[in-house]
C-alpha cells in the first residue's frame, strides 16, 4: 500500500458508457491540449463518445501538471456529458519511479479533474516479484481512493499472467506498436481465460486502407478496445490521425 499524507478527495465522475452492448470500444490517448486545433479534436471525442463506448486518456503534461487547466475541465465535462470516460495519465518508469511520486500524481488528478480512473503507463511485463508487487501497490492505492475508479495499465506488450490474476489493473494495453508489427502479432493462449474487455490494442503508423482489417484483427486477437492511427513516431498521439471518422464507424459496427 502506498502511504501518502494529505490525500485529496475523489470527485464523483461519470461511469456511464454510451453503448455498453458493443463488443469493441475505443481507447484514445488524447495527448494534445484542448485549445486551438486541439479543442476541435476534443470536441470530436465528445461526439464520438455519444456513438461508441469511449475512454479518453488525459495527459496535460506527462501527468496532471502543477495547476488546474480550465480548458481541460471543460473538455472533460463534454466527454462525460456524451457518456464517455476520462482517465489520467501517470508515468511509472517501469517500476523505477518512487511510489510516493506516483501517488502524488494520482492525488493531483483526483483533486484537479473529474477523472474516472488512472492510466498507469510504462508498466513492466516480466514476472519479477518486485515488479508485480509495485503495480499491485499502485492498483490497491487507486482502488483505496475509490473502488469505482478504473485502472488501465500499459506494458505495451504481452505480460506475465500474474499481472492479470492479482490483479494489478482492470485493463491492460497488451499491444502498442506499428501496423507492420501488428500483422505478425499473436496473443498468448492464457488471455482467452479472461474477458476481452480487459485487453487493449493501440496500433500506430497504419494506412487508411489497413484500418478496417486492423480493428477486425483486434477482435480476433481477443482485445475489447482499440486505437488505430495513421500517425507514427516520435509522437503518434499528437492528433487523431487522418481517418478518425472512419475508425469510429468501423468500431461502432463491431457487434
Q: Is the predicted pLDDT of residue 4 greater than 80, yes or no?
A: no
Q: Is the predicted pLDDT of residue 141 greater than 80, yes or no?
A: yes
Domain assignment present for 133: yes
Q: Is the predicted pLDDT of residue 149 greater than 70, yes or no?
A: yes
Domain assignment present for 13: no
Task: For residue 2, name the pLDDT band (cuts at 50, 70, 90).
Answer: very low
Domain assignment present for 168: yes
Q: Is the predicted pLDDT of residue 154 greater than 50, yes or no?
A: yes
Q: Is the predicted pLDDT of residue 17 greater than 60, yes or no?
A: no
For a pLDDT cut of 70, what percent of the chain falls above it? Answer: 91
Domain assignment present for 16: no
Domain assignment present for 20: no
Domain assignment present for 5: no
Predicted confidence at residue 16, as pLDDT, reads: 35
Task: For residue 74, name the pLDDT band (cuts at 50, 70, 90).
Answer: very high
Q: Is the predicted pLDDT of residue 251 greater than 50, yes or no?
A: yes
Predicted confidence at residue 78, as pLDDT, reads: 99
In terms of residue numbers, what domain contains 51?
25-252
> Average pLDDT, stretch 172-196?
98
Task: For residue 31, name the pLDDT band (cuts at 50, 70, 90).
Answer: very high
Q: Is the predicted pLDDT of residue 194 greater than 70, yes or no?
A: yes
Domain assignment present for 100: yes
Residue 140 maps to which CATH number?
A: 3.20.20.80
Domain assignment present for 4: no
Average pLDDT, the chain: 93
Predicted confidence at residue 55, as pLDDT, reads: 99
Predicted confidence at residue 253, as pLDDT, reads: 95
Q: Is the predicted pLDDT of residue 197 greater than 90, yes or no?
A: yes
pTM of the predicted structure, to 2 decimals: 0.91
Number of structural domains, the chain?
1
* Other CB atoms within 10 A of residue 61 CB: 11
> Average pLDDT, stretch 207-230?
98
> Average pLDDT, stretch 67-88?
99
Predicted confidence at residue 23, as pLDDT, reads: 82
Grid cell, residue 121, equals 503507463
Greater confidence (25 vs 14) lies with 25
Amino acid at each position: 500500500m502506498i502511504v501518502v499524507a494529505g490525500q485529496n478527495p475523489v470527485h464523483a465522475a461519470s461511469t456511464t458508457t454510451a453503448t455498453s452492448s458493443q463488443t469493441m470500444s475505443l481507447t484514445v490517448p488524447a495527448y494534445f491540449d484542448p485549445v486551438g486545433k486541439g479543442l476541435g479534436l476534443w470536441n470530436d471525442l465528445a461526439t464520438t463518445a455519444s456513438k461508441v463506448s469511449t475512454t479518453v486518456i488525459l495527459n496535460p503534461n506527462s501527468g496532471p501538471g502543477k495547476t488546474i487547466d480550465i480548458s481541460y475541465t471543460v473538455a472533460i465535462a463534454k466527454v462525460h456529458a456524451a457518456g464517455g470516460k476520462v482517465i489520467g495519465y501517470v508515468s511509472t518508469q517501469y517500476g523505477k519511479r518512487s511510489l510516493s511520486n506516483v501517488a502524488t500524481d494520482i492525488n493531483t488528478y483526483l483533486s484537479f479533474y473529474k477523472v474516472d480512473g488512472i492510466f498507469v503507463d510504462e508498466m513492466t511485463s516480466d514476472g519479477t516479484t518486485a515488479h508485480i508487487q509495485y503495480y499491485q501497490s499502485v492498483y490497491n492505492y487507486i482502488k483505496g481512493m475509490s473502488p469505482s475508479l478504473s485502472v488501465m495499465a500499459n506494458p505495451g506488450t504481452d505480460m506475465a499472467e500474474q499481472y492479470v490474476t492479482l490483479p494489478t489493473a482492470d485493463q491492460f494495453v497488451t499491444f502498442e506498436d506499428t501496423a507492420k508489427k501488428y500483422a505478425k502479432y499473436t496473443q498468448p493462449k492464457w488471455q482467452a481465460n479472461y474477458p476481452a474487455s480487459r485487453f487493449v490494442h493501440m496500433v500506430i503508423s497504419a494506412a487508411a486502407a489497413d484500418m478496417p482489417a486492423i480493428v477486425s484483427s483486434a477482435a480476433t486477437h481477443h482485445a475489447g478496445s482499440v486505437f488505430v492511427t495513421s500517425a507514427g513516431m516520435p509522437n503518434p498521439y499528437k492528433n487523431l490521425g487522418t481517418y478518425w471518422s472512419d475508425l469510429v464507424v468501423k468500431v461502432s459496427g463491431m457487434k
